[in-house]
Amino acid sequence: MQASFARFDNALIEHVFQPLADLITDRIGLDPLRVVGICLDAASIAWILSQAGALTQAVTQWDAAASFLRMLLLVLGLVALTSLRVVFRRGRIRNGANPLRVAMLPHRGIVLALLAARLVALAGFAGVADLAMLGFAGCALYLGACAARPPARRRSRWLAISGAR
């Protein structure tokens, strides 16, 4: 099962998200890791919106236990998204392969499974906001996997000065 998901994951990266990352970099001029940050910010906003209704209802009904649990769930989700942003920020790739591409494989699998489950049980504004959060988080994980392009071959300085090719 893991090998088949790894092939599917690799196909998504190579045929969907790498061309998207290249397009964003070439046309808009944004670094893919900056786009990852934007996607995680959008996911955080969508998470807040998805939890706002239930939290408001618990507070207005003076249900202390439900309010505490809803607030805890909201904060936990925001901490998870923020820590993911820190991982991508610290994971700046110098040369070679992107270590986050392999390390984030289980995360991408979980987000895709949750996305599929949310599509099946889509109900109300909270469901749409939850779907948006999962979509943005998934885009961030996949674009983060595409952040490191293979290093461009550079000519030596001596060849550039001498005009040799």
Hey, where are the domains in the chain? 2-148
Question: Consecutive 10-residue runs of the chain (165 residues): their mean pLDDT?
Answer: 83 88 86 86 92 88 88 92 84 64 85 86 81 89 75 50 51
| pTM of this structure | 0.76
| Contact predicate 131/122, CB 8 Å | yes
CA–CA dist 52, 135 (Å, integer): 18
Q: Which residues contact 70 (CB under 8 A, 6 or more apart)?
A: 51, 54, 55, 58
